[in-house]
Structure 1
Amino acid sequence: MNTQPPTRLFRAVFVVVTLLEIAGDMGQRQWLHYGTKPLIVGMLLVWAWRHRTVGGRPMMILRIGLVFALLGDIFLMIQEVDLFGPGLASFLFMQLCYCAVFGMRGAFQSISLAMFGLISLPFALYAGVFLMILYPAFTANPALQGLWIPVIVYVGCISTMGLLAALRRGNAGYGHVLTGALLFILSDSAIAVNGFLSPFPGSTPLIMSTYAAAQYLIVSYIHPRQ
């Protein structure tokens, strides 16, 4: 399998596209926002299809996950109608694909039960505390109550994704992939805080920069063992 990350030119273009998307969203330039947001994942999907040509089932699942991520981006960028539900479902399927890739047999070394518990603890604490923080907003707003169960499932899934990334110790690209998983958790947490609790200044650049970096690091450096 080709294990080389993207070229400097690709990285430069990727950063420019991400910055243009943020500028378009913050400046309410819809044409720029709509034109660049799908390119963030779209570029990575094309790159993975061309340069991750060997890798068997894990790489195919990774590409499927990117397709769901692209759908999620499209659903969530459309402001004229409420497509949060389909967007959340798309990203849930993407997270399941990433969980599958990270957890493939042989993707991480055998680990003791004590070490597993130690590594699991921060992700379990994150999921429990974050859901406790979100819960009052859902109980107080009848319009959100139907989303509570899907949100629980999503928080559990993204926490599991982070845990599986952390368990891949000893694999090539481990640090990059784990950083990407943690940035993904940060990005999605910021989306939830901004959307369900209280909008905060700087949410757009924080959410999109961490999301783009997360996708880039995971796609560029994942090398599951065969």
Structure 2
Amino acid sequence: MKTRQNAFIGVFILLVLLDLVTGYLHFQGLRQFTKPLILLSLLLFFGIYGKQLASKTYSYSLLALFFSLMGDIFLLYDHLSPLYFMLGLIAFLLAHITYAIVFLIQGKTIFKKEIRLVAFLLLVYGTTLFIILQDHLGPLTMPVIIYILGILAMAVTAYSRKDQVDPTSFKLVFIGALFFILSDSILALNKFVVSIPGSHILVMGTYATAQYLIVRGLLARKD
């Protein structure tokens, strides 16, 4: 099993690099295949190796990965219509909600003092990001607020797993959640505020890292 999992890591890295290259070279036709393959490979990987997890953890995690895959597909076409960006936003919001459900199942009450501190720090970050974005959002102001709250909630619930799961599992998942926030922050700043050089590489690199760490973290859990 270990050999096959290591083989997957190699394939996953190859798929990510392929998408980074096609995106950098603006090969939009090829990106219709390379970008979805990243999440599709994680979905299949988790589907095969996550069966030993509790049934709710397994089912909701698969659902989160599926919503992420749909979000990736919708955002491929956001240059054609604002509708695709909104659909992508909704899909990823649903992914964050289902990830949060998984983390709550595995975690402890989110009202512990330490967790409240983490929530406060993340809220400060989210508020700062929104202040930077707000003058550029127009009709997307409320959807973006809801989305920011959704991804912050996902990160807080990821932290709630501390001391409730295998330490490696906790670290991988929480770091993955932070990478998810970083990826979406770069994407939002690039889309609404200022063009960031190499934004595609930064966004997809941090996004792929986030999803991979979350998946490996969930698989590292010892039920």
Q: Same fold (TM over 0.5)?
A: yes
Residue number in structure 2 paired with 1:61: 60
* Structure-1 separation of matches of 2:128 and 2:68: 26
Superposed CA deviations along residues 139-162 of structure 1, whole A, max 9, x for unmatched, are xxxxxx221111000000101111
Is contact 2:64-2:94 (8 Å) kept?
Answer: yes
Residue number in structure 2 paired with 1:203: 199
Residue number in structure 2 paired with 1:29: 27
Q: Give the Å deviation of 1:110.
A: 5.5
Q: Establish whether residue 118 from structure 1 lines up as the match of residue 117 from structure 2.
A: yes
What is the aligned-residue RMSD (CA, Å)? 2.0
Residue number in structure 1 paired with 2:15: 17
* Structure-2 separation of matches of 1:100 and 1:207: 25
> Helix, strand or coil for the counterpart of 1:81?
coil
Letter in 2 for 1:50: I
Superposed CA deviations along residues 20-65 of structure 1, whole A, max 9, x for unmatched, are 1011011011232112100100001111111111321121011011
Quote the sequence identity (%): 33
* Structure-1 separation of matches of 2:63 and 2:200: 26
Residue number in structure 1 paired with 2:50: 52
Alignment of 1:1-226 (within 5 A): 7-54=5-52, 55-78=54-77, 81-82=80-81, 83-104=84-105, 107-109=106-108, 113-138=112-137, 145-170=138-163, 171-172=165-166, 173-222=169-218
TM-score, scaled to structure 2: 0.90
* Structure-2 separation of matches of 1:222 and 1:103: 13
TM-score, scaled to structure 1: 0.89
Q: Give the Å deviation of 1:7.
A: 1.6
Is contact 2:176-2:212 (8 Å) kept?
Answer: yes
Q: Give the Å deviation of 1:221.
A: 1.5
Letter in 1 for 2:144: V
Sort the Cα spacing of 1:8 and 1:85 in 2 relative to 1 into closer, same or farther, 3 A. Answer: same
Q: What is the total number of aligned residue pairs between the two structures?
A: 216
Residue number in structure 2 paired with 1:142: none
Is contact 1:124-1:159 (8 Å) kept?
Answer: yes
Q: Give the Å deviation of 1:120.
A: 1.7
Unaligned runs of 5+ in 2: none
Unaligned runs of 5+ in 1: 139-144
> Helix, strand or coil for the counterpart of 1:222?
helix
Is contact 1:6-1:220 (8 Å) kept?
Answer: no
